[in-house]
Amino acid sequence: MVSPKKALECFAGAWGFLNGTIVNTTTGALLPDWHSPYPSGIAVYTDNGYNTFIVTANDTTEPEKRPKELNLSASPSDPDSRWALVGKYSVAASGPIHISNVTDRSGKDREGPSGVVTRTFSMATLPSWVGRWITYTFHFYDDCQVFNLQQSLGVDVLQTAWFHKLPSQY
């Protein structure tokens, strides 16, 4: 085991979603997910141990789930069914993270650390997520420019999300 500091250094910054899948690990079959394999979104990790993210259906691959005519402030004439699509196919949350069980894989083809990250949500668009803990395993690759999160969703079901580091704006 190594200090979680290296992993936190890798996490710190802004990340774009590459893809997300849910797989039956026995059969290899892809299972349906609300956001399709190619969600849109961004995740931000701070160097003092916080995370915030938003995930939506993809504007390009699933435009029917992303009503472009809606705007804030909502108009009383906006159909609730259109706003329901926004709520159904979007999620945002934030809160502290805890990193543990970190191993150093740096000698293996530009791989970075791996370990366990646990999120506690202090704010979420889904009220049932507030106070919820979610635990993932993580693996960094390409000198900490790419990483994945994996979460067991039950017997033989694994969710995997891939992220790429976004360039600095400064």
Tokens in use for 157? Answer: 């079901």
Q: Topology of domain 4-65+78-165, per CATH? A: Lipocalin (2.40.128)
At a CB cut-off of 8 Å and minimum separation 6, what does 154 contact?
A: none
Condensed to tens digits (0 to 9), the pLDDT of residues 6-64 reads 999 999 999 999 988 999 999 999 998 776 767 899 999 999 999 999 999 888 888 99
Condensed to tens digits (0 to 9), the pLDDT of residues 81-115 reads 999 999 999 999 999 999 999 998 766 666 889 99
Confidence tier at 2 by pLDDT (50, 70, 90): confident
Counting Cβ atoms within 10 Å, is residue 40 exposed (0-12), middle (13-18) or buried (19+)? buried
Q: State how far the Cα of 135 lies from the Cα of 25, in Å rounded to an integer.
A: 18
